[in-house]
Amino acid sequence: MLLNPEQNAMLDGSRGYATRKAMQILVALGEIYGAERMIPVSSVQIAGVSYDNLGEAGLQFLSEMADGGGKVCVQTTLNPAGMDIENWRSLGIQPDFAEKQGRVLEAYSRMGVSTTCTCTPYLTGNRPLFGEHIAWSESSAVCYANSVLGARTNREGGPSALASALTGLTPEYGYHLAKNRRPTLTFQLSTRLKETSEFGGLGKMIGEHIQVSKGIPYIKGIQSATLENLKSLCASLATYGGAALFHMQGVTPEASSFTPPLEQVEVSQPELESVMQSLNDATAAEVDFVSLGCPHLSIHEIEQIARLLEGQHVKKEFWIATARATRQIADQLGYTRIIEAAGAKFAADTCCVVAPIQGRFTAMATDSAKACYYAAAKNKFKTLLLPFDEVVRLALQ
C-alpha cells in the first residue's frame, strides 16, 4: 500500500502506541484485500461493547489502547452494551457484570467515543450522507448505511472500526469502490409486505440465498417500505446472509442507477410464510419473555406500544429495547409513563441479543427475525415470530 508521510508516521510509532496498533490493523487489512491507499472516513460505529461478548480479553485490549493514548478523530458512536446503564438492576443484571461493563464504557469514553450504545446510530445523530465514506461495524447498521443511506462502508469488526476511529482512515477496497456495489441477483416479489416481521422474513430468505451465491441483491416488487421495515430487513439480511448491501427498486437511492440483473429469483407468499414459520418453535403458551427493539426501536414504534398498552397490565417479562436518546424523547412525550405503568420495562442502551440472559427464559416472542436467531443460538430460547402489534398483545395475555 502507498502511505503518505503522516500515515507512515502513524505506522512507525511516532504518533503513539495506540495509533501505531490501529495503523498496523488497517495496513494489514489493506494488504489482504488489495487496497492501494488509505481514504479518510467521516463517521465510525464500533461493535464489541457488551462485556458478555468482549470478555476480560476485550476489556484488556480496550484499556491498553486507551492507556496508549488512543483518541478518536472523527464522530464515533457505540453499539449496545450488555445492560441498561442506569436501570440494570431492574433487568436482573448482576453487580459484578455491571462493574465490568462500566469499565468497558470508561475505556471507550477515555478515547473520546460517544457512549451512545445503540445499533441504530442513524436514529440518534450519527447519520452519514449519500456517498460518504465511513467505517462501521454492527452488521444491521452497516447494511442500513450502505443500502438505505447510500453511504459506503465495509463490514468492519470491532477492532478495525476502532482503528479507523483513532486514525480517521480506512483502506480503500470492497464497498468503498463503485464497481463493487453493483447488484448481481434480482429478487422479484409477488406479494405485498407490511409488517416488520415480514420484512425480517424476507431478509432471512434472501440472506440464506446469497450466503451461498455471495451476491448483492436487487429487490423488486416492494410498493412501499417504512424506516422500521427497512431496519428489520437490514438486520435479517446481515444475520442470515452476511449482506452488507442491497438495492430496492423505487426505495433505495442507488437502485435507479442499475438495471435489474437478469438472473431472477421469485419470492411468493407461501415461501415467505414457510421461512417465517421456520422461526416458530415455541407456542404462545410457552412464551415467558417478550422483546421488541431488534434493531432498537424508533420513537414511532414506542408510540405504537404506548397506544396498545395504555390502561392495561402486562403478564410477562416485556423488554423494550431502544437508544437512550430515543427513550428520552419517549419520556418527554409521555410514552414512558404509560409503558412503565403497564409493567413493561425499558432496556435502553442494550437489547435481548447482547444482555447476559442465557438460561433465564424458556421462550421469547418478538417481531425480529434477527432476534430469533440469537435467542436460539446464544441463549438457547425457543422463539415465536409475530407481527409487532401481536407481540404487544401476547405480553398482555
Partner 1 sequence: MILHGRSIFQGNAQGETLVTSQPISFFGGVDPEKGIVVERGHPLEGQCIAGKVLVFPTGKGSTVGSYTLYRLKMNGRAPLAILNAECETIIAVGCIIAEIPCVDQLPIQEIRSGSLVQIDGSVVIVIIEDPAIH
Which residues contribute to the site for partner 1 (CB under 8 A)? Answer: 21, 24-25, 28-29, 31-32, 47-48, 53-58, 60-61, 137, 157-160
Rounded least distance, CB 244 to partner 1, Å: 13
Rounded least distance, CB 39 to partner 1, Å: 18
Distance, in Å, from the CA atom of 315 to the CA atom of 397, rounded to the nearest integer, reads 6
Nearest alpha carbon to residue 224 among 245, 199, 204: 199
Q: How many CB atoms lie within 10 A of CB 218?
A: 24
Rounded least distance, CB 175 to partner 1, Å: 14
Rounded least distance, CB 137 to partner 1, Å: 7
Rounded least distance, CB 32 to partner 1, Å: 6
Rounded least distance, CB 164 to partner 1, Å: 12
CB 254 within 8 A of CB 181: yes
**DSSP, res 88:** G
The residue with cell 403497564 is: 342
Distance, in Å, from the CA atom of 290 to the CA atom of 365, rounded to the nearest integer, reads 5
Q: Which amino acid does the sequence have at 137?
A: S
Distance, in Å, from the CA atom of 94 to the CA atom of 46, rounded to the nearest integer, reads 25
* DSSP letters spanning 212-232: HH---EEEE------HHHHHH
Q: Which residues contact 373 (CB under 8 A, 6 or more apart)?
A: 239, 240
Q: Which is nearer to partner 1, 237 or 330 (CB)?
A: 237
Rounded least distance, CB 282 to partner 1, Å: 24
Q: Which is nearer to partner 1, 211 or 362 (CB)?
A: 211
Q: Which amino acid does the sequence have at 155?
A: R
CB 349 within 8 A of CB 324: yes
Rounded least distance, CB 353 to partner 1, Å: 13
Q: Which is nearer to partner 1, 55 or 131 (CB)?
A: 55
**Grid cell listed for 171:** 483502506
Q: Which is nearer to partner 1, 28 or 189 (CB)?
A: 28
Sheet containing 247-248: order of strands = 247-248, 217-220, 185-189, 264-267
Distance, in Å, from the CA atom of 6 to the CA atom of 3, rounded to the nearest integer, reads 8
